[in-house]
Structures are given as C-alpha cells and as structure tokens.
Amino acid sequence: MRSARCTVIALTALAACTTKEARRSDTTAPATATLAGAPAADVAANGKAIEAAEALQAAALIKGDTLAAAAFYADDAIVLPPNDKLAKGREAITKAMANMLAVAKITAFTPHREDLIVSGDYAIETSTFEMTLQPKTGKPVQDKGKFLTVFKKQSDGSYKAIRDIINSDLPAK
C-alpha cells in the first residue's frame, strides 16, 4: 500500500512539473523546446555550446584520438554504443571507441539535430547522422543512424554528455 501511495505521489509531482510546452502535440521538424520555460535565446545558446562540443568530438574521432573524443563525456557517463556492450565511465568509453576504431577509421561524420529539449542544467538531444567508415581492408562504408544524448551543463558553461545511445539505420549483417 505504501509503495502504491509513493507511486501516486511521484506521478502527481511529475505531472505538476510538466508544462504545456513539454506536452505539446506538434512534432514538426526540428523542435527546440524547454521544460523550464527558458527564453528561446537561452535554448539557442545552449544548442550552440552542445554543437561546439560535438564538433570537437567528431574531429577527434576522425583523427583517431580516443582520449580527446572521450573528453566529450562526463567522468561517470554511460554510453550504449552500436555493436558493443554498455560503457560506463570515461575509461570504458575510451576503450569502446578504441575497439570501434580498431575495425574501421571514421573519415567523415555529419550530425543533423532533430530536437533539443533544455531543462535547467540538462539538455536532451535527438539527432541523426551520416558517417563514412574505412575498414582496414575493403571499400568505404556509408552509414546512417541516430543518437540520443543527455547533457549536463558544467560550471564553466560547457556541456558534457552523461548518457548517449547510438544506433545505425543499416540492417544487421
């Protein structure tokens, strides 16, 4: 009985915190929303900070620099990479990136933001990507996929990813 009461209280609190903006029914492209009612200029500035972090990570991956690429993540981040197990913490994330780059070099990576939701110090981004991989042997592979990333704003105003899931749109072999 106590568990049910706690669940009802938690759901009521969650519903009370949800604004009309967060419950909007339109999903026209690309959305920039805020759960806290922040001005659009703040959301745009946060989006630019996240884009800057993503550009640094993409450049590092193309160079094959897994340490620099892993700096995109908070120390306690969790990443769910494609075709690999969950990576928890920066050391495991760096190893997962090294595993991926041991099979193929990334020669191009282009993200396309579909949605960005900002609430306080957190941001949730939904994106698609196009990527070119050059396997150790054989022809380059064109990949398309999607990722969902949760960011936390740092004390210096930058963002670090704290959760990240990446999936290819290509069928499994």
What are the DSSP calls for 47-82, one per residue?
A: HHHHHHHHHHHHHHHHHT-HHHHHTTEEEEEEEE-T
Q: Note the pLDDT tens digit of each residue in 81-134.
A: 988 899 999 999 999 999 999 999 999 999 999 999 999 999 999 999 999 999
Token pair of 33, please? 């929303």
Q: Which sequence spans correspond to the domains of the chain?
A: 32-168
**Second-level CATH architecture of 32-168:** Roll (3.10)
Does this model's pTM top 0.85?
A: no
Q: Which residue has the tokens 């704290």?
A: 162
Q: Note the pLDDT tens digit of each residue in 120-140.
A: 999 999 999 999 999 999 999
For residue 60, the SS3 value is: helix
